[in-house]
Amino acid sequence: MTTARDIAVLGATGSIGTSALDVIARHPDRLRATVLAAGRNVDALLDLCRRHRPRHAVIADRSLYPALRDGLRASGLDTHAHTGEALDDLVAGDACDTVVAAIVGAAGLPSTLAAARAGKRLLLANKESLVLAGELLMREAEAGGATIVPVDSEHNAIFQCLPDAAAHAGLQRLILTASGGPFRGRDRASLQAVTVEQAVAHPRWSMGPKISVDSATLMNKGLEVIEAHHLFRVPGERIDVLVHPQSLVHSLVEFVDGSTLAQLGLPDMRTALAVGFGWPERIRSGVSGLDLLAQGGRLDFEPPDLQAFPCLRLAFEALAGGGTGPALLNAANETAVSAFLQRRTGFLNIPALIEDTMTALPAMPADTLDTLADADARARRHVEALLARAA
Ligand code: NAD
Ligand code: MG
C-alpha cells in the first residue's frame, strides 16, 4: 500500500499541473492535493480548488489575490488564499510532504529549492531550476534529505532504468531521446518564416507554450542534457541525443557490460507523475499500456541536425564551459522565447540572441545563488537590449 501523500502542486493550472491532479484524483484514498499554486489564471485556479478542496491556494500575481480570496469564499470553501510571497514557506511547512515542481521557467527555482531544503519528495518537472542552479539544488536536496524523482519524461525513464547506486557504478552513457519537434527534417533556411502557431503545434506531446517552442528549437533537449548531468552526475561527454520521432522510447541507459536499458510508454506525462507519487510502488496513472503494433510497429532513430537547430549545440557548449554558462543560456532562452511568443522576434533569432549573449557575457565561476541570479538578470537585460536595438 502506497504511503498517503499530502501534495503541493506548483503550476497547478498548467499542462503538468493538470496531469498531476488527474493522477491524484484517481487515488482519493492515498493522494491529496493540499496546496495549489498558479501564476495568473485565477479562474482556472478557483475551478481546481472547487474540485480538489486544497487547504491552501496561492496566486503569484498579487493584484489577483482579492479575486482568489473572494472566489474561494463565494464557493463556500475554507481554503486559505495566499499571494506568491507565501509559497516557499507553504512548500517547506507541514501542509505537504510531496511537491510537484511544475512552474515554468526560472521563476520556479525558489520554491523548488525550498522543497529540497525541507526534505520533501520532490517531483521535479521545472527543468530550468536545474539548468540555472543544478549543483546548488542537488547539494541542498542531499543536505535536506529530499528525494528527487524527475518527472521530465526522459529523466523519469532514466530514473526507472537506474534506481540504485550499485547500478550507477556501471553506468557508461545516457542516451536522451528527442521527438525532433514540429520542424524535424527541415533545413535552416526553411525555418526563417515559421509562425508561433506552427512552433507550438507539437506532433506528439501536448505541453505549455514555452516548452513547446523549446522543443521546436531543440533547446528543450539541450536543457535536458544539462538536467541529466546534474540529476545523474554524468559529464556532458557521456550524454548523447537521439531523435526518435515516435516518442515511445523515453530514453536509454548504457552500462559497461554492454546492456542498454530503455523505458517505453505512450507519450503522456501522467506515467512519469504516477512513478513520482508511487515510487517504489507502481500505481495507476490513467495511461494505457503500449501496443507497439497499434502505434505503427516501428521505432525509428536518427541523429539530431545541429545545423538547423543550433540551440542543442549551444547547450552542450554551456555545459562544457560550466560556471554561470548554463544560467546565461537559460535566461537568454527564456527571454528570446518570450519575445518570439509575443511576435517581437523571429524563430531563427532565438538561437542568434542566445549565442550573442553567450559570446558577450562569458561564463564565470558560480558557487552562490547570488552569482547565478546576477548572471540570469544580466542575460535577460542583454537580450532585451538586442531586441530593442532591432525594433
Ligand atoms: P504551462 O505553461 O502549461 O504551466 C505553467 C504553470 O506555472 C501555470 O500553472 C502557471 O500559472 C504557473 N506559473 C507561472 N509562473 C508562476 C509563478 N511565478 N508562481 C506560481 N506559478 C506560476 O507549462 P508546462 O508545460 O506545464 O511546464 C511546466 C514545467 O514543466 C516547465 O519547466 C517545463 O519545462 C516542464 N516540463 C513540462 C512538460 C510537459 O509535458 N508539459 C514535460 C517535461 C517538463
Ligand atoms: Mg522532456
The parent domain of residue 163 ranges over: 154-265+282-309
CA dist 226 and 234 (Å) reads 10
> Can you give the CATH number for the domain in which 38 is found?
3.40.50.720
Choose the weakest-confidence range: 107-111, 137-141, 365-369, 377-381. Answer: 365-369
Bind-site residues for Mn(2+): 152, 154, 224
Domain match, 144 and 221 both? no
Same domain membership, residue 169 and residue 94:
no
- How far is the C-alpha of 353 from the C-alpha of 154, rounded, in Å? 27
Q: What CATH number is given to the structural domain containing 366?
A: 1.10.1740.10
Residues 106 and 236 in one domain: no
Residue 108 reports pLDDT greater than 60? yes
What pLDDT band is residue 2 in, cutting at 50, 70 and 90? Answer: low
Nearest CA to ligand 1 atom 5: 14
Does residue 22 lie within any of the structural domains?
yes
Residue 344 and residue 228 in one domain:
no
pLDDT score at 168:
82
Burial class (CB in 10 A: 0-12, 13-18, 19+), 44: middle
Residues with CB under 5 A from ligand 2 (ion): 152-154
What's the helix, strand, coil split of the chain in %, to 5? 50, 15, 35
Q: Are residues 164 and 115 in the same domain?
A: no
In a domain, 274, yes or no: no
Average pLDDT over residues 355-367: 95
State whether 138 and 192 are in the same domain: no
Q: Would residue 35 count as lying in a domain? A: yes
Question: What tens digit of pLDDT does each residue of 167-197 get?
Answer: 788 999 999 999 999 999 999 999 999 999 9
Q: 98 falls in which pLDDT band (50, 70, 90)? A: very high
Place of cell 543560456: 329
104 in contact with ligand 1, CB cutoff 6 A: yes
Q: Which of 369, 367, 230, 225 is nearest to 306 (CA)?
A: 225
| Binding-site residue positions | 13-16, 39-41, 126-128, 152-154, 179, 202, 208, 215, 220-221, 224
Q: How confident is the model at residue 367 (pLDDT cuts 50, 70, 90)?
A: confident
Ligand at minimal distance from the CA of 177 is 2
Which of 124, 150, 176 terminates a domain? The answer is 150
Smallest-distance ligand from the CA of 269: 1
Q: Residue 277 falls within a domain, yes or no?
A: no
- Residue at 292: amino acid letter: L
Cα–Cα distance, 191 to 297 (Å, whole number):
31
Q: Do the domain assignments include residue 271?
A: no
Ligand 1 contact, 91 CB (< 6 A)? no
Residues 37 and 62 in one domain: yes
> Is residue 203 over pLDDT 90?
no
My answer on whether 198 and 286 are in the same domain is yes
CB distance 223 to ligand 1 below 6 Å: no
Residue 88 domain-assigned? Answer: yes
Take atom 17 of ligand 1 and give the residue whose Cα is closest. 39
Instruction: Report whether residue 84 contacts ligand 1, using a CB cutoff of 6 Å.
Output: yes
- My answer on whether 78 and 14 are in the same domain is yes
Residues 221 and 79 in one domain: no
List all residues 6 or more positions away from 119 whose beta carbon is below 8 Å from its beta carbon.
144, 145, 146
> Residue 206 CA: which ligand 1 atom is closest?
40
Whether residue 296 is found in the same domain as residue 161:
yes
In the chain, how many domains are there? 3
Q: What is the mean pLDDT of residues 50-76?
A: 98
- Same-domain status, 195 and 232: yes
> Ligand 2 mean position to 269 CA, how many Å?
9
pLDDT at 167: 72
End-to-end alpha carbon distance in the chain: 59
Give the three cell numbers for residue 94. 507541514
Residue 350 has pLDDT above 70, yes or no: yes
Q: Is residue 79 part of a domain?
A: yes
Partners of residue 33 on adjacent β-strands: 7
Note whether residue 270 is domain-resident. Answer: no
Q: What single-letter amino acid sits at 218? A: L
Query: What is the residue-averaged pLDDT of the chain?
Result: 96
Q: Record the pTM.
A: 0.97
| Model confidence pLDDT, tens digit, residues 143-170 | 999 999 999 999 999 999 997 766 788 9
Query: What is the per-residue pLDDT across 210-223, written as a single tens digit (0 to 9) for each?
Result: 999 999 999 999 99
Question: Which of 132, 150, 168 represents a domain boundary (last residue)?
Answer: 150
Q: Are the C-beta atoms of residues 10 and 87 closer than 8 Å to each other?
A: yes
Distance from Cα 40 to the centre of ligand 1, integer Å: 12
Domain boundary among 247, 274, 309: 309
Ligand 1 atom with the shortest distance to the CA of 207: 41
Indicate which residue's Cα is closest to atom 22 of ligand 1. Answer: 39
Residue 205 confidence (pLDDT): 84
Number of helices (H) and strands (E) in the chain: give both, helices first: 16, 11
